[in-house]
Amino acid sequence: MQVTPVFQDRFEAGRLLAERVAEIAFDAKPLVLALPRGGVPIALEVARTLRSELDVFLVRKLGLPGEEELAVGAIASGGTRIVNQELVDDLGVSAETVDAISFLERKELQRREQLYRQGLPAISPSARTIILVDDGIATGSSMRAAVEALRSQKPERIVVAVPIACPRTCRELRPEVDEIICAVTRDPFIAVGIWYKNFQQVSDQDVQAMLREAQRQILA
């Protein structure tokens, strides 16, 4: 299937999304939380436009060995795990396999938290409006895990914001959050990356640099 990319890169997508998010009336400065790594460039543009704090909220897909983009679930900071049981059953994946994938991804999640934060604590989402950002939503597993994990920390409001999404997933997520912004939807969706002309991987070093940049703009 031939598709035409919607965005040049994540920064362009972030600027478009920031325009949409800026239309929302907030009582106070929201906290922008990015799902690393791909969501960080998007969230940086949103945080820059709103002049808000930016932090990361880590989620790891539970991808099948050899087919990592096929996610049967996700885990998030705080130990939350979401499993797409219908997909697991359809594929005949055992509970032991899901547990083994979860163990490995939890180790990677912990490694990234230590690396990105450099010993600093996470910014508390408690009693704050949270704008949860990623570079797109396909199945929604990662975003659902993030939302569930955030709920346990008692934010005042959760706004999910992405530049591109599967329309069905966007509709299904709507009742689970206070507000959702899917700037562009496409059907059939296939995968997030096909809608970007440049979808190169965001490195750990890129994430660290963007978090430092966000901190500088808040202090300026």
Residue 68 is assigned to a structural domain of this protein: yes
Does residue 54 surpass a pLDDT of 70? yes
Does residue 72 surpass a pLDDT of 70? yes
Residue 4 is assigned to a structural domain of this protein: no
pLDDT in tens, 93-143: 899 999 999 999 999 988 888 899 887 788 899 999 999 999 999 989 889
Number of domains in the chain: 1
Residue 1 is assigned to a structural domain of this protein: no
Residue 3 is assigned to a structural domain of this protein: no
Does residue 76 surpass a pLDDT of 90? no
Instruction: State both tokens at 158.
Output: 């959760």
Please give the mean pLDDT across all residues of the chain: 91
Residue 42 is assigned to a structural domain of this protein: yes
Of the listed ranges 25-34, 67-76, 172-181, 208-217, the one predicted with least confidence: 67-76
Mean pLDDT value of segment 81-96 = 89
- Model pLDDT, residue 64: 84
Residue 2 is assigned to a structural domain of this protein: no
- Model pLDDT, residue 219: 67
**What is the CATH classification number for the domain harbouring 48?**
3.40.50.2020
Does residue 147 surpass a pLDDT of 80? yes
Residue 113 is assigned to a structural domain of this protein: yes
Of the listed ranges 25-39, 79-93, 202-216, the one predicted with least confidence: 79-93
Question: Dihedral of the CA atoms 173, 177, 182, 187 (nearest 10)?
Answer: 10
DSSP 102-145: HHHHHHHHHHHHHHHHTTPPPPP-TTSEEEEE-S-BSS-HHHHH
Does residue 41 surpass a pLDDT of 90? yes
User: Cα(138)–Cα(23) distance, rounded to whole angstroms?
Assistant: 24
- For the stretch 117-122, contacts whose Cβ atoms lie closer than 8 Å and that sit 24 or more positions apart, written own/partner, are 117/56, 118/208, 122/55, 122/77
User: Cα(171)–Cα(160) distance, rounded to whole angstroms?
Assistant: 12
- Model pLDDT, residue 198: 97
State the residue range of the domain holding 190.
Answer: 10-219
Residue 71 is assigned to a structural domain of this protein: yes
- Model pLDDT, residue 84: 85
Does residue 48 surpass a pLDDT of 80? yes
pLDDT in tens, 166-220: 999 999 999 999 999 999 999 999 999 999 999 999 999 999 999 999 888 776 6
User: Cα(178)–Cα(129) distance, rounded to whole angstroms?
Assistant: 10
Which position has the token pair 């959702």? 180
